[in-house]
């Protein structure tokens, strides 16, 4: 078992990967059941366990886990929502030589294993299943879900009446529901159990970036020159500029950025923006944080977009059709309200909408939130494990924009720059701890590099 990482597969992609593996479905179920039993043994610490088995192959995993746990000396019992409906599940139940109780009147146990439904659920849990599931989960000391908590939408992360798990054991690969809200908050800690299926996809889990340290031949320009354009709320741009500097940029210029700034950040007036953009040493521009929406602000956004510089657009710079297939590297960082204003409500999950928007505008998008999604033209996407909820405070998005600018200035491709920025942002928040404000991220960023 490993923390959630690697590729992310939809229900259909997982089915195809299992078939393509060449491993019999019986062997895959045996491996999944064994992994589930090991998780119960490890996290349950030998306490009595109740395994809830559904009618499909997820239930089959539960029957196999129960048989192994019983052989290991665990006091284990099974309650089923009905008779098995797949050939593999029927065989798994037949191999269990203990009693099988009824879900409706099952008695609680310190360890509850949810193996009722796995991937592919697209409807509300029936009341006759949801009610006892919640009753038993509330009474348990620890709840372990097999692949997914029963009652979440595998591909879109919807909640169809699921009970929250403390541990979710994902078989072979993460699924969108492990990372998209509200399902992600119902999964607890997600662990991956490899069962021999090779997984390949263009959607992956955010991973720690490789950030090279400066070498003996580096200087301020090789480390990246970043321009941050300020406006009516100078504190926002100051956060962005300081974040860029603290994230490793070698030279940061604040255009119209006033207030309390590190002395290392160069200050210039708005009138100098055009000339500064013409400097061939500029490696990235950040515009939007605290910019305002005046005619002058719009002119500055247009100047930045028309330049050949890699660009981060945030906050007030975000508008419908603000960029369309801009040839230079471009990152947009909308929150939910800005995303809707730019691209509409759209159809599908947050992942689907972000990928469609990236294709539409030809730029990399960091769709911020409790389940941040990063997508680039062509379908590549990255899903982010939940970060600190303390990030839900003013100014943290401005910090993220500055970090993204510094990553572009390093020479990263837009998608890689966006991923590195989100990871650093999340890690800085983790280090800052409870009660943090945006300014606290700035002091933690050097520790993350």
321 annotated to bind ligand: no
Axis-axis angle for helices 234-246, 396-409 (nearest 10)? 40
Using CA atoms, how far residue 427 sits from 174, 203, 213, 448, in Å, is: 21, 21, 18, 7
| Same domain for 235 and 160 | no
148: in domain: yes
120 annotated to bind ligand: yes
Q: For residues 31 and 195, is the Cβ–Cβ distance under 8 A? A: yes
150 annotated to bind ligand: yes
**What's the DSSP call for residue 307?**
S
* CATH code, 180: 3.40.50.10260
Give the domain-ending residue among 144, 174, 204: 204
| Same domain for 381 and 287 | yes
Predicted pLDDT of residue 238 = 97
Residue span of the structural domain in which 279 resides: 225-448
| Same domain for 250 and 391 | yes
144: in domain: yes
| Same domain for 168 and 230 | no
| Same domain for 368 and 269 | yes
Give mean pLDDT in consecutive 10-residue pieces for the chain, a chain of 449 residues: 94 95 96 98 96 96 98 97 95 96 96 92 92 98 98 96 97 97 97 95 97 96 97 96 98 93 96 96 98 96 97 97 94 97 93 97 98 98 96 97 98 98 98 98 97
122 annotated to bind ligand: yes
70: in domain: yes
361: in domain: yes
58 annotated to bind ligand: yes
| Same domain for 281 and 142 | no
CA atoms within 13 A on the CB side of 297: 19
**What's the DSSP call for residue 298?**
H
| Same domain for 173 and 229 | no
CA atoms within 13 A on the CB side of 357: 35
271 annotated to bind ligand: no
Give the domain-ending residue among 151, 169, 204: 204
219: in domain: no
344 annotated to bind ligand: no
* CATH code, 270: 3.40.1190.20
Question: pTM (2 decimals)?
Answer: 0.96
85 annotated to bind ligand: no
Render 367-414 in DSSP notation, one character per residue: E-STT-EEE-TTS-EEE-----GGG-STTHHHHHHHHHHHHHHTT--H
114 annotated to bind ligand: yes
| Same domain for 347 and 266 | yes
299 annotated to bind ligand: no
405 annotated to bind ligand: no
213: in domain: no
61 annotated to bind ligand: yes
Cα 410 to chain centroid, rounded: 23
Q: Could you read off the pLDDT of 317-357 as tens digits, one per residue?
A: 999 999 999 999 999 999 999 999 999 998 899 999 999 99
Number of domains in the chain: 2
| Same domain for 130 and 272 | no
Of 401, 375, 223, nearest in space to 312 by CA: 401
| Same domain for 170 and 248 | no
121 annotated to bind ligand: yes
In the block, residue with structure tokens 């890690």:
427
**Whole-angstrom distance, CA of residue 414 vs CA of residue 425:** 16
147 annotated to bind ligand: yes
123 annotated to bind ligand: yes
Predicted pLDDT of residue 1 = 84
Predicted pLDDT of residue 119 = 85
Predicted pLDDT of residue 118 = 85
18 annotated to bind ligand: no
| Same domain for 231 and 119 | no
21 annotated to bind ligand: no
Q: Is 433 left (phi over 0), alpha (psi -120 to 50) or beta?
A: left
**Whole-angstrom distance, CA of residue 340 vs CA of residue 346:** 8
| Same domain for 186 and 51 | yes
């Amino acid at each position: 078992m490993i923390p959630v990482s690697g590729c992310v597969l939809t229900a259909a992609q997982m089915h195809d990967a299992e078939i393509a593996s060449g491993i019999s479905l019986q062997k895959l179920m045996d491996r999944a059941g064994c992994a589930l039993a090991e998780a119960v043994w490890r996290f349950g610490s030998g306490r009595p366990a109740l395994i809830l088995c559904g009618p499909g192959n997820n239930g089959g995993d539960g029957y196999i886990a129960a048989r192994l746990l019983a052989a290991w000396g665990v006091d284990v019992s099974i309650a089923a929502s009905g008779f098995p409906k797949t050939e593999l599940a029927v065989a798994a139940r037949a191999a269990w030589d203990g009693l099988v109780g009824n879900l409706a009147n099952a008695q609680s146990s310190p360890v509850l294993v949810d193996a009722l439904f796995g991937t592919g659920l697209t409807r509300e849990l029936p009341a006759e299943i949801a009610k006892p599931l919640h009753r038993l989960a509330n009474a348990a000391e620890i709840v372990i879900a097999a692949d997914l908590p029963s009652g979440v939408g595998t591909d879109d992360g919807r909640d169809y009446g699921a009970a929250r798990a403390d541990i979710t054991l994902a078989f072979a690969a993460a699924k969108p529901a492990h990372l998209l809200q509200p399902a992600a908050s119902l999964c607890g800690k997600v662990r991956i159990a490899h069962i021999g299926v090779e997984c390949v996809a263009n959607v992956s889990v955010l991973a720690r970036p490789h950030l090279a340290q400066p070498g003996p031949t580096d200087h301020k320009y090789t480390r990246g020159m970043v321009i941050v354009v300020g406006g009516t709320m100078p504190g926002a741009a100051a956060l962005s500029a300081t974040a860029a500097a603290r994230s490793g940029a070698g030279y940061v210029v604040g255009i119209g950025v006033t207030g309390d700034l590190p002395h290392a950040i160069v200050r210039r007036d708005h009138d100098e923006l055009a000339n500064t953009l013409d400097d061939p040493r500029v490696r990235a521009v950040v515009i939007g944080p605290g910019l305002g929406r005046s005619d002058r602000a719009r002119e500055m956004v247009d100047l930045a977009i028309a330049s050949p510089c890699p660009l981060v657009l945030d906050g007030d710079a975000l508008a419908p059709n603000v960029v369309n297939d801009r040839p230079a590297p471009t990152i947009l960082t909308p929150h939910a309200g800005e995303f809707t204003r730019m691209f509409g409500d759209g159809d599908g999950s947050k992942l689907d909408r972000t990928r469609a928007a990236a294709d539409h505008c030809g730029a990399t998008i960091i769709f911020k939130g409790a389940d941040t999604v990063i997508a680039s033209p062509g379908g590549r996407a990255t899903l982010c494990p939940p970060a600190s909820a303390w990030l839900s405070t003013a100014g943290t998005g401005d910090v993220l924009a500055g970090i993204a600018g510094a990553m572009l200035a390093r020479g990263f491709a837009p998608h890689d720059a966006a991923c590195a920025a989100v990871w650093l942002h999340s890690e800085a928040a983790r280090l800052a701890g409870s009660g943090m404000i945006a300014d606290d991220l700035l002091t933690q960023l050097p520790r993350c590099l």
